[in-house]
Each structure stands twice: as C-alpha cells, then as structure tokens.
Structure 1
Amino acid sequence: MRLLLTSDTHLPKRARELPGELLERVAEADVVVHAGDWVDTATLDLLEARSRRLIGVYGNNDGPELRARLPATAYAELGGLRFAVVHETGGRQGRERRCAQRFPDVDVLVFGHSHIPWDTRAEGGPRLLNPGSPTDRRREPYCTYMTAEAADGRLSGVVLHRLPRRAPS
C-alpha cells in the first residue's frame, strides 16, 4: 500500500496552490494522509477528489468549516499497521514519551504543526512521522512531504521528499 503523507498546506496563505509534484504523487498513492492546517476547504475538496482514500484531521489554523468535516484525531489500519493522525504533539522535548503514553496501541503516528520533518520511534510506542510542509518551509531549507509503503504489518520505504524552491511572487 503506497502512502503519501503531508501536512500544513496553509492554502492560500503560504502558497497559491499545492506543488505539482505533490499532486502527481497523490494520484499514485493508495492513501493520502494530511495532518492538519489545511486553512481552506478548497484544498480538502481537491484532495478528496484526487485521492483513492484520504485520511485527514484539522489543525489549529483550521476554521469551523474544516472542523465540521474533519476529526481532531483519525485512526486507520493500513497494511496491517495501526495508524493515528493528529496535528499537534507538543514541543520536541519529550515528544516520544508523550506520544507513547497518548497512543499506546498505535504503530505509526503522523503529525504536523511544526513544519519540521520528523522520523523517530518512541521506546515502546509508535513510529513518529512529520512530513513537514509542502508550501511553508519556515526555518527548514526545503518544503517537504513523505511517501512510504505499508504492507504485512511493516512500514518501509519512508522517504522525505524535498520540493524545488519556488520563485518569489
């Protein structure tokens, strides 16, 4: 099962549209996971229309319309793995411990908020993945997203993709 992980798209505030490369990968993915901060419903509509399956949550910058359509936490079994998706996990200090306590029955936790890519494992807890943001790199050198494979109870091929820098508007 091919997965595409993204978060913090912040459209149209951080970019006018999603990067073409990301949209191409959406078409290739069996499941698209978005960890919140969509900001506009048009992005949700677009990904719903283009995805075979979309799993998403709302973030702290998402208003009432998005909160009415999305949960704060989403759960799914994908390729024999138990996934959870949330927007925020708190500060980086102690993240693994907090997430292991909050999600004891999860194999993989996808989160966003910081725009900083993250890939660690909580001792006795889930693998933590933050795909960064495809539209707002903040202090990072590149805008990013992730792809992965989930099959037979294993997560493999986790790749952080760097997007080309956009020309200034």
Structure 2
Amino acid sequence: MSTRLLLIADTHLPKRARDLPAEVWRAVEEADVVVHAGDWVDVRLLDELEERSRRLVGVRGNNDHGALRERLPEVARVEIEGIRFAVVHETGQATGREERMSAQYADTDVLVFGHSHIPWDTTSATGLRLLNPGSPTDRRRQPHCTYLTATARDGELHDVTLHRLPPRA
C-alpha cells in the first residue's frame, strides 16, 4: 500500500493570491494526505482544504491569528505508512538547521516546514529528512512558486518531486 502526499506552505491567502492555483487544487484531489506547514492567513482556506482533502495535517504559522491559531497546533505529528512525520512552520536560520532539527525532532523521520518560501530537501547526518515545499502563491525571491508531492510506502518516502508553477497572469 502507498499514500500520496501533497506538501504546501505559506499560502498567505488572500494577501498573495485570491486562491490556490488550479494545479494545486488538482493535486489536493489526487492526494491521500495534504500537509500544510503554516501561514494560511485566511481561515477559509483551512475550511476548504478540510472539505476537499481526504486527510489534512496542518499547523499554524507566524501570520496565522484568530480561528487559525485556535484550530491549528504549532507542531503536528503523524505516522503515515510507517514514516514518522512532524510538521512545523519555522525552523530558524538555514545555517545549522539539520543539526538543530535533528536534536529537536530526534523521534522523527521527516520534518515538513515552511516560513522561508524557499524549497528545501536535505537529510541530516542522523537521517532526518527536512522538506520545505516553498510557496504555491508567493515566490518572494525564488524563480517560481512551488509545492511538493511524494509517496509514502513501506516505511520510506519515494518520488519526492518539487513542482514549479507557471507565472500567474
């Protein structure tokens, strides 16, 4: 058995875009689990993802207030296909990230995070995989808006793919 994952973060709706791109909504419909690593900004996206996804794992970010802060944890932990995931919005500066997060999430196989809007895929010396999907709506200084997909199967993460979205019209 395998589980299809969609990883997103830093959607900042409706500040950065009115809605998620159509490609991301298609990925939501194809995914078995949608992971959102914070900075939703508008609770309507949380409501819609809860309605449209099969399973949603989300955390709050530094720009999430009110109902988002009340409904979402700072850290979410879930096991999928034998893989121990943790989801958090912020991990601090890039320098030393693998070592800091390995110490903080020693009981985790994959850490999904956001905040920087910079796609990230590294594995620490302890084996912790760190994934940041970037942002599907706010590329900041990156060349593209992005999101990640992956497949969890037999205790391992497969087919981790960074998707680059076309520029918005």
After TM superposition, the score normalised by the length of structure 2 is 0.98
Counterpart-to-counterpart distance in 2, 1:79 and 1:138: 34
Q: In structure 1, what is the Cα distance between the partners aligned to 2:144 and 2:47?
A: 26
Give percent identity, aligned residues only: 68
CA shift digits 1:110-143 (9 cap, x unpaired): 0000000000011114100000000000000000
**Take 2:58 and 2:10, find their aligned partners in 1: how far apart are those partners?**
11
Using the alignment, how far apart are the partners of 1:57 and 1:122 within structure 2? 23
For 1:90 and 1:5, how far apart are their aligned partners in 2? 19
For 2:167 and 2:80, locate their aligned partners in 1 and report how far apart those are by CA, in whole Å: 32
SS of the residue corresponding to residue 19 of structure 2 reads coil
Q: Tell me how far 1:35 sits from its aligned partner.
A: 0.1
Give, as a single letter, the amino acid of the residue that structure 2 aligns with 1:103.
Y
Gaps of 5+ in 2: none
Q: Counterpart of 2:41? A: 39
1:73 alignment partner AA: V
Give the TM-score taking structure 1 as reference length: 0.98
Superposition pairs of residues 34-73 of structure 1, within 5 angstroms? 34-73=36-75
* Structure 2 SS opposite 1:128: strand
Instruction: Give the Cα separation in 1 of the matches to 2:111 and 2:45.
Output: 22
Q: How far apart in 1 are the matches of 2:128 and 2:89?
A: 16
Residue aligning to 1:26 = 28
Aligned pairs (5 A) from 1:113-124: 113-124=115-126
| Partner secondary structure for residue 84 of structure 2 | strand
Unaligned runs of 5+ in 1: none
Question: How far, CA to CA, are the matches of 1:143 and 1:79 in structure 2?
Answer: 29
Pairing of 1:109-148 with structure 2 (within 5 A): 109-148=111-150
Aligned CA RMSD, in angstroms, stands at: 0.5
Q: Distance in 2 between matches of 1:94 and 1:38?
A: 27
